[in-house]
Amino acid sequence: MFTKGEEKKSVAEMVNSSNVIAKETTIKGDIITFGNIRIEGTVEGTLNSKTKIVIGESALLEGNVETKEAEIAGRIVGTIKCTEILYLKKSAVIDGDIYTKKLIIENGAVFNGICKMNEMESSDNSNTLKKNGVANDEKAGAKKGKEVVAG
């Protein structure tokens, strides 16, 4: 059906695509995308992107977020999981837990919940640690290079 060249091109187009949910738009349901997505309106459901999610100042998301990278300026009520970097702008309001590798918080951002850094990595290795008799807390304490930038 597709040649390998055409298949690679269509995958590249999906990853480089951008989706926008406008300011006065409300979506009820889960959103899954391989490309970038920007939310300015309201979403009630899970938001999942393989690349980057941007939540604008006017946005409200009631549901969980899973992505590689996120920039939040609006309000989220739910869990955020970023495999790379999470950036909370000064207007961000987060009511939920955060799991990320790197976290940058501007002065003025509001965060109500717990934050676990490198959680994606530790959950993958939890069974190995239990077999070797090492508790997750001991592993977390031994990790170095966790980065939090505030202000």
Give the DSSP H or E segment for 104: strand 102-105
145 Rama class: left (phi>0) / alpha (psi -120 to 50) / beta: left
Contacts for 135-140: CB closer than 8 Å, 24+ residues apart: none
| Euclidean distance between CA atoms 144 and 34, whole angstroms | 31
pLDDT by residue for the chain (151 residues), tens only, comes to 555 655 555 555 555 678 999 999 999 999 999 999 999 999 999 999 999 999 999 999 999 999 999 999 999 999 999 999 999 999 999 999 999 999 999 999 999 999 999 755 444 444 433 444 444 444 444 444 455 565 5
